[in-house]
């Protein structure tokens, strides 16, 4: 039990590593949370520091989501522990203890977790993301619908109800972090992809 609790704590602490914050701090000596959407996510890093900074942020944030459930499954063979590790990793990314609990919005890290939980479901969710952005040019809407669709895809690809509920919790965390985006979408005030003042974030 102690080993499992330590692993779950480690999952949160790994997820809490603020990749975007560190990259921009090291490169530009600035706090990424003072710019744009005030998120540490890759979209805000791209807007603030360019794609050379954003690319490693995406890669590391996805890996943060992928590794804890992978290791949990390999080490413990417990689906509930695996899902708990995935949830805590995303929670850590969104609310990192290292920088005052102000982190990213969880999409890339969630997708990393989803890649392990159901690879074909993740591809389908990414398809939703691309189609929604192509039709609406709202990055936030594409992100939300992609993450929300994953639990359904997990059922479609027969990953079971536990993965459905676990991934639904992850989707809820992402929704909470996107609450301001949702308010702007409802009010018709969410900027679209390509506008210089866009505030969309992953």
The pLDDT profile of the chain, 202 residues, written as one tens digit per residue, is 899 999 999 999 999 999 999 999 998 888 999 988 889 988 888 878 888 999 999 999 999 999 999 999 999 999 999 999 999 999 999 999 999 999 999 999 999 999 999 999 999 999 999 999 999 999 899 999 999 999 999 999 999 999 999 999 999 999 999 999 999 999 998 888 765 444 444 4
Q: Containing domain of residue 135, as a range?
A: 2-187
Q: In Å, how far are 13, 79, 142, 145, 197 from 190, measured between CA atoms? A: 32, 38, 12, 15, 10
**Any domain includes 120:** yes
Q: Is residue 168 part of a domain?
A: yes
- Please give the Cα distance from 182 to 200 (Å, whole number): 10
pLDDT given for residue 55 in this prediction: 95
Look at the chain and report how many structural domains it folds into.
1
pLDDT at 194: 66
> Is residue 192 in a domain?
no
Q: Is residue 23 part of a domain?
A: yes
Give the SS3 label for residue 201: coil
Residue 20 to residues 9, 122, 154, Cα–Cα distance (Å): 21, 23, 29
Calculated CA dihedral for residues 177, 57, 44, 191, nearest 10 degrees: -70
């Amino acid at each position: 039990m102690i080993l499992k609790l330590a692993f779950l704590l480690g999952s949160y602490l790994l997820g809490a590593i603020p990749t975007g914050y560190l990259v921009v701090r090291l490169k530009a000596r600035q706090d990424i949370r003072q710019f744009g959407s005030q998120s540490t996510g890759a979209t805000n890093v791209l807007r603030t520091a360019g794609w050379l900074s954003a690319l490693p942020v995406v890669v590391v944030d996805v890996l943060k989501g992928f590794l804890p459930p992978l290791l949990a499954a390999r080490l413990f063979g417990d689906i509930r522990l695996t899902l708990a590790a995935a949830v805590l990793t995303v929670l850590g990314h969104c609310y990192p203890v290292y920088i005052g609990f102000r982190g990213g919005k969880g999409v890339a890290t969630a997708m990393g977790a989803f890649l392990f939980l159901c690879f074909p479901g993740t591809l389908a969710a990414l398809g939703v993301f691309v189609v929604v952005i192509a039709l609406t040019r709202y990055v936030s809407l594409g992100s939300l619908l992609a993450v929300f669709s994953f639990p359904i895809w997990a059922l479609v690809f027969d990953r079971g109800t536990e993965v459905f509920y676990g991934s639904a919790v992850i989707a809820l965390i992402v929704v909470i972090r996107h609450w301001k985006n949702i308010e702007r979408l409802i009010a018709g005030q969410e900027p679209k992809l390509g506008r210089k003042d866009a505030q969309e974030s992953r």
